[in-house]
Amino acid sequence: MTIRFTDVNVIYHRKSPFEYHALKNINTTFENGKFYGLIGHTGSGKSTLIQTMNGLILPSSGTVETDGIILSKKSKQKLIHQAKMKVGMVFQFPEHQLFESTVLKDVMFGPMNMGIAEEAAREKACYYLKLLNVHESLLEKSPFELSGGQMRKVAIAGILAMEPNILILDEPTAGLDPLSHDETMQLFYDVYKKIGITVILITHDMNDVLEFTDEVKVMSQGELAGEGRTADILTDQNFMERYDLEVPHVIQLARDLKEKGIALNGTPKNTAEFIRLYED
């Protein structure tokens, strides 16, 4: 599904001494089935932007069209609710949201809450738990008996079981050790490949942006500073410097080599690809 922003402004606490213009004239589109990176410094407007997609925040002016549902300043609760159902959000430590007595019940909760009958909810739950490689023997266990990694998978299955059309990952690996970081990112990428859902990853980790995303949108002081193919944006030295963005280490390595007269044939996405391009 496509999400289209047309002339979107968000002004917090309008007409008060705390008035703040958090989104300024945003015009952009998130296309169906792509994996997007949404980057920019803290306070640049990333969270505000994603919260307008599911109606948590309504634009002060302009429209946000989420899969045919057009949200504006005047949208009513019913429409906002419809938009909410289309957008799944994963925050840091999603496993902290587990609460049911069994794994199966936890994953069934979302679909049942949307009005889906018990049997159909069970089917969806089993499908997404299997997709995430959660073994059948764990279905009747308490989620709190599982390892941290398994708990995270159960929590993500719970979000997918509601079958959102777009999955937003809001700094999903912040605070994780390097191994859990890699596992979690790989998990999201595998899910993306398997079900072809549109994904938006908000992160400060530019190596993840390079490795996993197709396209990137850059926010700066409430404006859309730039957008395009990930490799094009991240290798644009002037742009990256202007917005004080960290250059992924393999791009920096490729640049260092070039200075020594050894140019790589293409932009490496990660260390393994760097080595492959270097050896070619």
User: In the complex, what is the shortest distance from the CB of residue 264 to ligand ADP, in angstroms, rounded to a whole number?
Assistant: 32
Bridge partners of 167, per DSSP, are 88, 199
Nearer to ligand ADP, 47 or 198 (CB): 47
Residue of 6, 11, 12, 235 interacting with ligand ADP (CB under 6 A): 12
C-alpha 142/C-alpha 274 separation (Å) is: 43
| x/- letters, 211..230, toward ligand ADP (CB under 6 A) | --------x-----------
Q: Does 22 bind ligand ADP (CB under 6 A)?
A: yes
Which phi and psi angles does 83 have, rounded to 5°? -65, -40
**Torsion sign (Cα): 98, 99, 101, 105:** negative
Tell me whether residue 40 or residue 111 sits nearer to ligand ADP (CB atom): 40
Q: How far is CA 271 from CA 17, 78, 257, 267, in A?
A: 49, 48, 14, 11
Checking DSSP bridges between strand 3-12 and strand 69-71, what pairing results, if any? unpaired
- Measure CA 191 to chain center: 12
Instruction: Please list the residues that pair with 71 across neighbouring strands.
Output: 64
Among 26-34, 35-43, 245-253, 266-274, which window interacts with ligand ADP (CB under 6 A)? Answer: 35-43
Q: Between 43 and 82, how does the x/- string for binding to ligand ADP read (CB under 6 A)? A: xxxxxx----------------------------------
40 binds ligand ADP (CB under 6 A): yes
- Least distance (Å) from ligand ADP to the CB of residue 206? 15
| Phi-psi label, residue 149: left if phi above 0, alpha if psi -120 to 50, beta otherwise | alpha
Nearer to ligand ADP, 57 or 191 (CB): 57
Q: Binding of ligand ADP at residue 20 (CB under 6 A)?
A: yes
Q: Of the candidates 271, 256, 280, which has an alpha carbon nearest to the alpha carbon of residue 210?
A: 271
Q: Which of 15, 16, 17, 42 binds ligand ADP (CB under 6 A)?
A: 42
> Which residue ranges make up the site for ligand ADP (CB under 6 A)?
12-13, 20, 22, 40, 42-48, 219
